[in-house]
Amino acid sequence: MGILIRSVARAMVAVLAAALCAVVTAVSGGVTAAITLTATALIVPGTAVPNPANVPGYMENAVDYYISPTTASCASVCTPVPVPYIAQFWPFPWEGWGGLDGAKLDESVASGVAQLTSDLVGDNNPSADSPVVVFGYSQGATVAGNVKSLLSKLPAQDQANINFVLIGNPNRPNGGLFERLAMFGTVPILDATFGQPTPTDTEMSTVDVAFQYDGVADFPLYPVNLLAVLNATAGFWYTHGSYLAPDGRNPDALPNGLTPAELAAAIADPAHQQRLPDSDTTYVLIPTVNLPLLQPLREFGAFTRTEFLTTPLIALIQPALRVLIETGYDRSMPYGQPAPFRLIPRFNPITVTADLIDAIGQGIRDATAATGAAPQPVTAVHDGASANSTPTTVRQATARSVRQRSTQATPPSPASASATASPGTVEKAEQRPGRKTAGRGTNQSIRSAAA
């Protein structure tokens, strides 16, 4: 009897041990899977937001609007982590910018670079199992671009574990305000450094998103076009701060007037994308439905309840204004090509005149439709956008813009010019041929690169 009991006991112990091993294996396997599938998004905020964790919706919208749709590592599970820093810009007096008591731009950016670098060598050290996406907005994009330049010293296999998503980037090579001002270098007293375009020759996949006419990321190339400069200035006020709306700072707005679904469709649309051969960056320019320059008139009409007058007026003049404003840009130049200010606009006056005539006719039709005297046209505007147009119809209109010199609204494909860009799809953490993933050990490499 005793022998039987001992045999049964041994059998039960063996069964329990086997079950325990199975549980441990399953749990460890689940943890490994979680580690493999979970990425980290380091959120570097813009000016006046020293800590994005303190603004409701800020980090969530960054992930949902821009990071998850464009990076494979964050497509399913992505943990946002705030990157706090000074985030000020002396001497501008706007709320949160610091005013005369605030930090100067270079000091503020340096604090962000130090914090982001510390995060990358600390708890958020990237590896093949734990990739990292660095997200930068406005001044935060400047911070991210500086760190990207430092990380370009890493071995290619380590760079492959890091991706960048930038929005409203003032250092966008063609369009960014800080690159337009490159001839000034570091400005004394202001202590602001211009002319440091975000690098595009690394192994770190990057997506750079800008709204058309954003005065920070899509500033005119030719400042002699005062109409374009005024429109971009209005774009800074009305458009630049809307990328992450609605959030705790801007609860009643939408990103550039688009719903989240419309924004996602605009980012994914190949017609809005551009990438140079051998570049690590995909550029996205999202068309702006209504000219920022006319927004004060819209607000005046809403405030005085005179939309019955202002709406047809806006519809009448907007297409022609858009044609004239577009002569302040050269849309045939790739967005990855550094382009400081230029003085003499390059466009074909014959095609501009033809476009202007078409736009005037379109404005008359739009104004007539706005008064209710005729049905709204269903075709896309030729070169301008109606004040009452939907984002879908305007997408085609604004993508064309003015046919400048090359008479192309987007750069020709590499087959026609090796130095120009071709549109493509937004890559999701694409790995280039020859890339290898790396295990832990990036920590020390990042320290060395940043030194």
pLDDT at 419: 40
pLDDT at 29: 44
Whether the Cβ atoms of residue 272 and residue 284 lie closer than 8 Å to each other: yes
3-state secondary structure the chain: CHHHHHHHHHHHHHHHHHHHHHHHHHHHHHHHHHHHHEEEEEEECCCCCCCHHHCCCHHHHHHHHHHCCCCHHHCCEEEEEECCCCCCCCCCCCCCCCHHHCCCHHHHHHHHHHHHHHHHHCCCCCCCCCCEEEEEECHHHHHHHHHHHHHCCCCHHHHCCEEEEEECCCCCCCCCHHHHCHHHCEECCCCEECCCCCCCCCCCCEEEEEECCCCCCCCCCCCCCHHHHHHHHHHHHHCHHHCCCCCCCCCCCCHHHCCHHHHHHHHHCHHHEEECCCCCEEEEEECCCCCHHHHHHHHHHHHHCCHHHHHHHHHHHHHHHHHHHHCCCCCCCCCCCCCCCCCCCCCCHHHHHHHHHHHHHHHHHHHHHHCCCCCCCCCCCCCCCCCCCCHHHHHHHHHHCCCECCCECCCCCCCCCCCCCECCCCCCCCCCCCCCCCCCCHHHHHHHHHC
| Residue boundaries of the structural domains of the chain | 35-290+409-450
pLDDT at 240: 97
Backbone φ and ψ of 291, nearest 5°? -60, 130
pLDDT at 449: 62
**35-290+409-450 fold:** Rossmann fold (3.40.50)
CA distance 190 to 184: 11
Closest CA to 176 of 141, 136, 226: 141
pLDDT at 249: 87
* 448 carries an active-site annotation: no
Closest CA to 274 of 389, 414, 386: 414
pLDDT at 5: 41
pLDDT at 445: 62
Beta-bridge mates of residue 274: 283
Whether the Cβ atoms of residue 213 and residue 377 lie closer than 8 Å to each other: no
pLDDT at 252: 87
The CA-atom distances, in angstroms, between 189 and each of 104, 171, 192 are 9, 21, 8
Catalytic choice (68, 111, 138, 332): 138
Q: Which residues contact 103 (CB under 8 A, 6 or more apart)?
A: 86, 88, 89, 90, 111
Written as tens digits, the pLDDT of the chain (451 aa) is 444 344 434 544 443 344 434 443 444 444 334 444 579 999 999 999 999 999 999 999 999 999 999 999 998 889 999 999 999 999 999 999 999 999 999 999 999 999 999 999 988 999 999 999 999 999 999 999 999 999 999 999 999 999 999 999 999 999 999 999 999 999 999 999 999 999 999 999 999 999 999 999 999 999 999 999 999 999 999 999 999 999 988 898 999 999 999 999 999 999 999 999 999 999 999 999 999 999 999 999 999 999 999 999 999 999 999 999 999 999 999 999 999 999 998 888 999 999 999 999 999 999 999 988 654 443 333 333 433 343 433 434 444 443 343 333 344 333 333 344 444 456 554 444 444 444 445 565 666 666 6
The CA-atom distances, in angstroms, between 354 and each of 324, 343, 350, 363 are 12, 24, 6, 14
Rounded to the nearest 5 degrees, what angle is found at the Cα of 367, between the Cα atoms of 363 and 369?
120
pLDDT at 372: 80
Closest CA to 172 of 199, 205, 154, 143: 199
Whether the Cβ atoms of residue 341 and residue 393 lie closer than 8 Å to each other: no
CA distance 172 to 66: 17
Instruction: Please tell me whether the overall predicted TM-score, pTM, comes out greater than 0.85 for this model.
Output: no
pLDDT at 250: 87
pLDDT at 151: 96
